[in-house]
Structures are given as structure tokens and as C-alpha cells.
Amino acid sequence: MIYLDNNATTSVASEVLESMLPFFKENYFNPSSMYDAARAARVAIEEARSQIAGFIGASESSELMFTSCATESVNAAIFGAIAANPSRRHVVTTVVEHPAVLEVCKRLTHDGFEVSFVGVDKNGEIDLGEFVRAIRPDTLIVAIMHANNETGVIFPIERLARITKETDPSILFLCDATQSMTKLHINVSDNFRNVDMVAFSGHKFHAPKGVGGLYIRRGSRWRQFLIGGHQESGRRGGTENVAFIVGMAKAMEVAAKNHVEDIARMERLRNKLENGILERIPHSIVNGTTAARMPNTLNVAVHFVEGEGILYQLSSCNICASSGSACTSGSLEPSHVLTAMQIPFSAVHGSVRFSLSKYTTEPEIDFVLEKFPNIITQLRRLSPYWDQKNNKPRKQIES
Ligand code: PLP
């Protein structure tokens, strides 16, 4: 099987699995228990916390809270900010966020908050002017993703956070770094120094599903979201998922090892796939083509075919890809991200996302390049918009 859906989830790295096993077997104790045997579990959590804090440049490991996933981290960040700042009732986000942010913001609008959804251009890049104008005296929080899960387009977080803080230092800045963590530079003492909160999920970088993190800068006005026991310094009740927390720290360590080489290889293979598709398939375009993009993501729009049909055919060749985010595939609605980018109607339904990992190999990419063009030729035969005889669209394509 050729797995090119790593923005949906990744395989657990063998080193990660290895590091987790003792916490299912000999060291399964509740880290809050008082006896000696449980101390190793508590120590393992704190070591994982310092390790991850170190990776993202946090000055104190206590700034890192473990959660179950990025969705929880985002919910905790936003609702915790609201609880601590009841007088501010305005939020800034973008139209292309993952539902983890977007749906929270939509809920807020029903609850009497005002939300500014900043738009993007045809390349998926944020409208900076609109962003600046969106910030108001009553803005509580800015919640923006680092890299888009569908297109891989990277937002200039350093700049957006600086603009926010220069406008009003008391506005909280939350970055959803779920796709970028371990792939792009994220350092809360450097390029993320004006970012107050960073959300991420372990399963996007070869840790298991079911563990995530939220960095909360010391001094941020924020209140506990999940109420219960005293775990996570009283910020999140619930017995810690020791094994998965240990695994997530290990996954970051593994990612850091040959980082530069791994990223360069992944980008080279992604570019090979991209150029190969553009060369072989007429009337295909890359969504977000001129924007800064994640090195592992390719979102390609093929005019006059249905994405669902492409995925079905790819799947029958044992190739796993996606037509949008994992959460929106299965719905016939075109992706909200591509709609916001005004991708032409004839292509928005034929968009496919390939997302690579550092384990993707060159023969796998060659295999996709061999199969994909034939799949498109076959599907276009079925399209009423495609002139089979002349191998071109029946009508001029809208741009
Ligand atoms: N944010 C982004 C940008 C994502 O891509 C995802 C998942 O795909 C999430 C948040 C939610 O992550 P999880 O499902 O692990 O909570």
C-alpha cells in the first residue's frame, strides 16, 4: 500500500512504539499515586514535558499542558481565554481554518460573540489588510493556523502575531500548529515569541492518535477548561495518558534527528510528484502554487473529474490520498478551503491531496506517477465536459 495521506494521520514510528511499551506493562501505575512504583510514571511525564518544552523553546516546561488531541487543545485555549476575560467578546480567525477552530468560532457567533473570519486570495494566502482591519479594541483572541491541512499553505505567523501584539499586547494569539509541528521552525522564544498559545497533535508526527499538547505562555490570561482532578498543575483534570505522552516526546526526538535531510528529501519527492502530474495531465493546477507551502503537501486540482472518483480509482491501485481534509471527505460539499480560494467550479470537485511523510519512498512516487494520469484519462472519458476526440475541454475553462 502507498500511503500519501499523512496530513490525516501518520504511522507510529517503531522507536515511538518501543518507548511506550513499558508504560502499558511493568509501569502501568497512575502517575498521581503515592507509592514508589508510580513515581517512574510521574517522572516520565515530567521528562517528556521538559523534552517537548525544549524542542519548542519554552523557557519553562510548566508552560506545556498535555491534552488528548489538537481539537481539545484549541477548545481549551479559546474557551479558557473566554473564561478569563469575560469582558472581551470579539475573535479573529480565518475562513480556511480546520473545523477544530472554525466550528468553535461558529458556535461563539451563536453565543453572542462577534467573530471576524479573514479571507484568503486565490493562492490561499491571508489578506493582510483585512487581518489588520479585523483587530478591534474588544478583540480577545486571534486564532490562526500555521499551515493549512488541505493545501499546505503556510501563514506568516511571526508577522501576524507581531501585528497583533503591536496593536494591543493584551490580545491573546493562538496558533494551530497541528500540521507544522516538527516540520516547520516553531520556537516560542524566536519566531513564535509573540504567540501566546500553540496547539498540536501527536498523531501528525508519528506519535499515536489520542495525545496532543497546548503551549500556554506564562502569564497568559487563561483559565482551566477541563474541570476535575489536580492533574497538569490543576489545568486539566483527568488521569494522564502516560504511554502516549512519552511516545509524543519520543516522536519529536526522532523527528529532530535528521530533520534537515528528511525535510529536504520529502520536499524533493513532493516536487517530483507535482511536476510529474503537471507534465502528464493537461488542465491540472496546483492549489496554492505560488504560496509558501509545507514540504510534504500537494493539493492538485484536475479539471472535469470528480475527486471522489479519483480517490476510488487510486484506492483500487492501493494508493491512499484524500479529496480534502479527512473530516470533510465523505461529504459532497466542495472544501471550504478551496471555495475560499475561488478555485474554478470545474476543478474544485476534482481536487486531490497527496501528503507525504519522511518514510515515503521514490518508487512509491514513481508508481503514483504511472497510475494517476491513466486514472484521469479514464475518468475524463465519462465527463460530459470533456471532448474525448480532441483531448480537451468542450468549453473554455474559467480562471
Ligand atoms: N488543526 C489542523 C490544522 C488539523 O489538520 C487537524 C487535523 O487534521 C486538527 C486541527 C485536529 O486534530 P485532531 O483531530 O488530532 O484533534
pLDDT digits (tens, 9 = 90+) for 28-85: 999 999 999 999 999 999 999 999 999 999 999 999 999 999 999 999 999 999 999 9
pLDDT tier, 383 (very low <50, low <70, confident <90, very high otherwise): confident
- The vertex-308 CA angle with 305 and 312, nearest 5°, equals 105
Mean pLDDT of 86-97: 97
The per-residue pLDDT for 29 is 96
Quick one: CA dihedral 224, 225, 227, 231, positive or negative?
negative
The per-residue pLDDT for 95 is 98
Determine the distance separating the centroid of ligand 1 and the alpha carbon of 176, expressed in angstroms.
8
Determine the distance separating the centroid of ligand 1 and the alpha carbon of 97, expressed in angstroms.
10
Q: Which numbered atom of ligand 1 lies nearest the CA of 70?
A: 16
Burial tier of 362 (Cβ tally within 10 Å: 0-12, 13-18, 19+):
exposed
Q: If residue 54 lies in a helix (H) or strand (E), which one and from where to where?
A: helix 36-55
The per-residue pLDDT for 327 is 43
* Domains defined for the chain, CATH in brackets: 12-256 (3.40.640.10), 259-393 (3.90.1150.10)
145 lines ligand 1 (CB under 6 A): yes
69 lines ligand 1 (CB under 6 A): yes
Residue 219's SS3 state is coil
Higher pLDDT residue, 389 or 354? Answer: 354
Residue 120's SS3 state is strand
Query: Pairing relation of β-strands 212-216 and 139-145?
Result: unpaired
Determine the distance separating the centroid of ligand 1 and the alpha carbon of 385, expressed in angstroms.
35
Q: What is the pLDDT of residues 272-325, one digit of tens each?
A: 999 999 999 999 999 999 999 999 999 999 988 988 899 999 999 999 999 864
Mean pLDDT of 263-267: 98
CB 130 within 8 A of CB 160: no
**For 149, phi and psi rounded to 5 degrees?**
-70, -25
Q: Which of 9, 73, 179 to mutate to test the pocket of ligand 1 (most atoms within 8 A of CB)?
A: 179
Nearest to 281 by CA among 357, 377, 215: 377
Higher pLDDT residue, 103 or 328? Answer: 103
149 lines ligand 1 (CB under 6 A): yes
> Is 327 a catalytic site residue?
yes
Cell readout for 282 is 493537461
pLDDT tier, 398 (very low <50, low <70, confident <90, very high otherwise): low
CB 26 within 8 A of CB 264: no
Distance from the first to the final alpha carbon of the chain: 36
151 lines ligand 1 (CB under 6 A): no
Residue 137 has pLDDT above 70, yes or no: yes
Determine the distance separating the centroid of ligand 1 and the alpha carbon of 201, expressed in angstroms.
7
Report CA 337 to chain centroid distance, whole Å: 13
70 lines ligand 1 (CB under 6 A): yes
The pTM score is: 0.96
In DSSP terms, 386 is beta-bridged to 393
**Inter-axis angle of helices 362-381 and 259-280, nearest 10:** 30
pLDDT tier, 326 (very low <50, low <70, confident <90, very high otherwise): very low
**Which parts of the chain are beta strand (E)?**
2-3, 64-67, 90-94, 114-118, 139-145, 172-176, 197-201, 212-216, 284-286, 297-302, 319-320, 351-355, 386-387, 392-393
Nearest to 205 by CA among 174, 230, 178: 178
The per-residue pLDDT for 86 is 93
- The vertex-19 CA angle with 17 and 20, nearest 5°, equals 65
Determine the distance separating the centroid of ligand 1 and the alpha carbon of 383, expressed in angstroms.
34
Query: Pairing relation of β-strands 392-393 and 319-320?
Result: unpaired
Q: Which numbered atom of ligand 1 lies nearest the CA of 212?
A: 15
100 lines ligand 1 (CB under 6 A): yes
Q: Which numbered atom of ligand 1 lies nearest the CA of 201?
A: 15
Residue 329 has pLDDT above 60, yes or no: no
343 lines ligand 1 (CB under 6 A): no
Higher pLDDT residue, 46 or 327? Answer: 46
**For 298, phi and psi rounded to 5 degrees?**
-135, 120
What CA–CA distances, in Å, run from 1 to 12, 315, 368? 16, 9, 11
